[in-house]
Structure formats: structure tokens, C-alpha cells
Amino acid sequence: MRKTESRLPAGVDATGLGESVVTADGRCALVSFITAPLATGRANTYVVFVTDAALAGAVESFEWSFAEGSDAPVVVTTPGGEASFAPTRECYLGIGVRLLDGGAAEQATLALTQQVRAPNAALEQLIANAANQPGPGCGNPDVLRELVNDHNPYYLNVTLSTPEAGDGFKRFLYSQVYDGALKRDSSARAELLAQVADSLNTGSPDFISASAPGLGVAGVRLSLAAMLLPPNGIPYTELETTTAANASGDEELRAKLAALSEDDRIDLFNRARFPKSNIVLCGRLIEALRNKLFSGVSFDDVLTKMSGTMAEWIVLNYTRGPLRRP
């Protein structure tokens, strides 16, 4: 078992990460990146957490089966507790995973069933209409397909810690998730997550370097989360705006991040790893930044007042900050 799948984040159960199932004895859990219904042709990632030390010590491999309806299952064996699958047709997809010891004896098993539907028809029509008509388009089609088909329930269900009137927060959160998905496609995001996982599990690459990019669909920076959100493992530190000084200060913050306990770093990674908790983190971070920078100002006003400069400053702090005002 890898360290990154040996514990769930403190204060977060499996349902806080995604659609999930837990064994009756609570020793392990299966978490799906995407909550059903899934869309045909879109790959989904599944992760097994083994939180029982004795079981974790016995498991050597994972045998996955993916059965579309009554079809014969596709069977894949992985050394780690992670696998991906893209359903090809509308059906009920059965996902099973057997946790095996070194002699291929079953130590535990988990199963999940998810409905698979066609991609969102209204979105496909919108994309087709935009392609056939002159003038501005409807945005990046690949990003829109990901957000609408995969992550729609996640960003729609994030709420402010202190509720306020208007839909400014929802619009701001959506824009951040859209920008994150536009900046890096799913394969590039998976590669960055794999590098941080390797750093935590094997020590290579070094954690300071691996944790530099924003992670997951919303591009969450682990150092920013450690500063602004409980348990606030890093003191709040403002960075310079100039490129060289900002890069140097950010590296110092990541060195402090690397000095946190291994459990704290694994928890931060897993919260950023899964789209559901990643988008929740994004929402918490933009709320915390709004409270720091423009206390008492609603998100509706953040988006509309001063020609949107408040929103731009929050975004800049999200991607490069916290920043010292010039």
C-alpha cells in the first residue's frame, strides 16, 4: 500500500472526496472521482484507501473489474490502489476491486455500481450551434464537456461559510474551476498529481519542487491552502509581486510546507487530488481571500464594482499570492 492511500484526510470521510463505498468493517474504501451518472466515452478514476494497518501490510496488488451491463468484465491488475476506465455505452457500470496479498489471495473486496448516460445533450447542441454560427463561441468545448458532464454537482453544491444574497460566489467559483481546467487538461493534471504522490510515497521528486504547481481541476496551491485554511499549518505570509521575488518567496513557503508532518501533507494532497474536494478547497480559498482582501464586500460586488478589479486581485492572489499590495 502506498502512503497516499493509507489514510483519509482528517475531518473528511470518503463521501467528502467523491462517490464512495466503504466495507462493513470500515477497513477500506473505494472512491470515484466522478459521481454518477457518468458520461459515455469519458474516463473516470477510482482510488482504494486502506486505513487498517494490518490490511495495508498484507495487500500487494489490486484486481479491478469493469462490467458494462451484462458484458464480460474488463479485468486489470494494478500494483497501487488506483485505476481508470472510460465506459463506452449507456448502461449500469459495475466496478469491483479485489485486494490481494503476495500469493494472490483475496484480503478484501469492494464494489460500486454507477449509471452511465450519453453526454449532456443540451451542451452538445450549444457547442454545435456555436460552431455553425459566426461571432463569439461558447468557450472551450473540451473544458465545458468536463465541467458539465463530470463536475457539475460539485461546484453547484459548494456554499459560502457565511451565506449572502446573489449568485456572485457561484459565478466566481465556476470561473476559477473553468480557468483551472483550461490551463491544464486532465492528463496534464494527472501527471502533476502523480509527481506529488511519488514525492510523498518514495521521496522522489522532492516535495518542494513537486508541490509548486496548482493541483487538480481548480489549480489549488497546497501552500496557499496550508496558510488560509484550518489547521493553518503555515503562517500567513505575503509575497512580492515582481517575478523573481515572488518565485523566491513561493519556494520558501513550499519549504515550510515540506516541513509539515507527513500526515498533514498527505491530507492536503488528497483534498486537492479529488475533483469534489478540490472544488470545495477552491471555494474555501476564494472566500478566505475575499475576507482578507475585501472584508464585508459581497461576491456580487466583487464581480461588478470597480470594473472587476477586486475579482482580478483575488484571482492574482489565488494563483501567485498572498501578495503584498504594491
pLDDT in tens, 280-298: 999 999 999 999 999 999 9
Ramachandran category for residue 214: left, alpha or beta (phi over 0 → left; psi -120 to 50 → alpha): beta
Residue 86 shares a structural domain with residue 195 = no
Residues 203 and 90 grouped into a single domain = no
> Looking at the domain assignment, is residue 16 inside a domain?
yes
Q: Count how many domains the chain has.
A: 2
* Residue range 5-34: mean pLDDT, rounded: 97
Report yes or no on 38 lying in a domain.
Answer: yes
Residues ≥6 apart with Cβ < 8 Å to 180? 214, 216, 217, 218, 219, 282
pLDDT at 139: 85
Among 31, 304, 269, CA closest to 166: 304
Q: Which of these, 136, 135, 96, 132, lies nearest to 114 by C-alpha position? A: 96
Confidence of residue 75 (pLDDT cuts 50, 70, 90): very high
Classify residue 7: in a domain, yes or no: yes
User: Are residues 311 and 191 both part of a single domain?
Assistant: yes
On whether both 191 and 76 belong to a single domain, the answer is no
Contact 16, 277 (CB under 8 A): yes
Instruction: For residue 95, give its domain range.
Output: 3-117
> What DSSP string describes 217-228?
TTTB-HHHHHHH
**pLDDT number for residue 137:** 67
108 and 208 both lie in a single domain:
no
Give the pLDDT band (50/70/90) at residue 136.
Answer: low
Query: Does residue 20 lie in a domain region?
Result: yes
Q: Looking at residues 33-44, what average pLDDT do you find? A: 98
CATH number at residue 51: 2.60.40.10
* pLDDT mean over 143-166: 96
Do residues 192 and 304 share a domain? yes
Domain end, chosen from 98, 117, 136, is at: 117
DSSP per-residue letters across 35-64: PSSEETT--EEEEEEE--HHHHHH--EEEE
- Is a pLDDT exceeding 70 seen at residue 300? yes
- At residue 85, φ and ψ (nearest 5 deg) are -155, 140
Strand 38-39 with 106-117, pairing: parallel
The alpha-helical segments, DSSP class H, found in 26-167 are: 53-58, 121-132, 141-146, 152-156
pLDDT exceeds 70 at position 252:
yes
107 and 228 assigned to the same domain? no
Same domain, 195 and 268: yes
Partnered with residue 64 across adjacent β-strands are: 76, 97
CA–CA distance from 290 to each of 158, 285, 295 (Å)?
A: 16, 8, 6
- Mean pLDDT to the nearest integer, 131-135: 74
Report the mean per-residue pLDDT for the chain: 96
Beta bridge partners of 108: 99
Beta carbons of 309 and 301 less than 8 angstroms apart:
no
Lowest mean pLDDT among 27-31, 129-133, 134-138, 244-248: 134-138
Mean pLDDT for 241-255 is 96
211 in helix, strand or coil? coil
137/79: higher pLDDT: 79
